[in-house]
């Protein structure tokens, strides 16, 4: 996992070009859940700023943090000047300032489990909102998906990231909702699905795969071979499932100060 977490920097420009952005429905969901004005936000693992732009466009004062220098440099090319940026991993963030919203866009699984939720609570005002969202981009046709998996099998079993706490995929509440429900620092935990469908050419889909960590950590020769085999089973255009799973929670006002 550590190797995969550190694999994105060299592909920062490709990540910006080939990863989909986030829909307005996500912003509406998070702000409706907050139930009060969201004026300040902290983003964990902001990447190239796909989600940063969504929230900053609403007039929210976003502080975008990202540990990879190349990803952060790409982010700075695309976000408004009002966005404050900082090179830091979640575990390195300075404490003291608190935010109405702390969120992670397809990035929370890269953070360390130890002390994750007390530290998250420390970054939020009482009753402040935590949001985590993301999801795989998958071939919609099950037969085509199986054919692509078989094609890449000599080089990669699966591109999926297993649940960080071992939650089985058939369970209703998924991670990180499972951990949030067990945490004394958060309440009102919700899991919401935002359906999303995409259409790409086969070449565009392969470009997208080139930004996925499971492929990035392959050797260049194995990655090229896997992509050739996948390309061989794809039609000219592919339909994709790209649903977003959103987890929301509220910082408990009763917990008071987080112990250091």
Note the pLDDT of residue 45. 96
The CATH number of the structural domain formed by 2-137+162-197+242-251 is 3.40.50.150
DSSP 219: -
**Which of 247, 5, 246 lies closest to 110, judged by CA?**
5
Note the pLDDT of residue 6. 43
pTM (two decimals): 0.92
Burial class (CB in 10 A: 0-12, 13-18, 19+), 248: buried
Note the pLDDT of residue 96. 86
pLDDT, one tens digit per residue, over 64-111 is: 999 999 999 999 999 999 999 999 999 999 888 999 999 999 999 999
Note the pLDDT of residue 10. 59
Which residues in the chain show pLDDT less than 50?
A: 1-9, 258-260
Residue 180 to residues 23, 30, 249, 255, Cα–Cα distance (Å):
24, 16, 7, 14
Note the pLDDT of residue 3. 41
Residue 154 to residues 100, 148, 151, 218, Cα–Cα distance (Å):
47, 11, 7, 12
Name the token pair of 252. 């408990």
Note the pLDDT of residue 188. 98
* Domain locations along the chain: 2-137+162-197+242-251
31-69 CB burial, b ≥16 within 10 A, e <16? bebbeeebebbbbbbbbbbbbbbbbbeeebbbbbbbbbe
Task: For the chain, list the strands marked E by DSSP.
Answer: 40-44, 61-65, 84-86, 99-105, 124-134, 138-139, 186-194, 197-201, 237-241, 244-251
């Amino acid at each position: 996992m550590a190797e995969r977490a550190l694999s994105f920097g060299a592909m920062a420009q490709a990540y910006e070009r080939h990863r989909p952005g986030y829909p307005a429905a996500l912003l509406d969901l998070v702000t409706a859940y907050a139930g009060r004005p969201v004026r300040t936000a902290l983003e964990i693992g902001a990447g190239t700023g796909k989600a940063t732009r969504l929230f900053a466009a609403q007039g929210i004062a976003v502080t975008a943090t990202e540990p990879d220098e190349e990803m952060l440099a790409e982010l700075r090319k695309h976000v408004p000047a009002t966005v404050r940026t900082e090179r830091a991993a979640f575990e390195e963030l300075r404490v003291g300032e608190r935010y109405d919203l702390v969120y992670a866009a397809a990035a929370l699984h890269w953070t360390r489990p130890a002390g994750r939720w007390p530290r998250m609570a420390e970054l939020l005002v009482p009753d402040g909102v935590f949001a985590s969202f993301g999801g795989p981009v998958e071939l919609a046709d099950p037969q085509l998906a199986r054919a692509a998996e078989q094609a890449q099998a000599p080089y990669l079993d699966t591109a999926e990231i297993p649940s960080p706490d071992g939650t089985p995929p058939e369970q209703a509440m998924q991670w990180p909702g499972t951990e949030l429900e067990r945490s004394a620092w958060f309440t009102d935990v919700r899991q919401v699905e935002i359906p999303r469908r995409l259409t790409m050419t086969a070449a565009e889909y392969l470009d997208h795969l080139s930004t996925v960590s499971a492929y990035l950590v392959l050797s260049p020769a194995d990655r090229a071979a896997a992509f050739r085999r996948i390309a061989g089973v794809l039609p000219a255009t592919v339909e994709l499932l790209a649903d977003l799973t959103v987890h929301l929670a509220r910082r408990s006002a009763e917990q008071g100060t987080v112990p250091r």
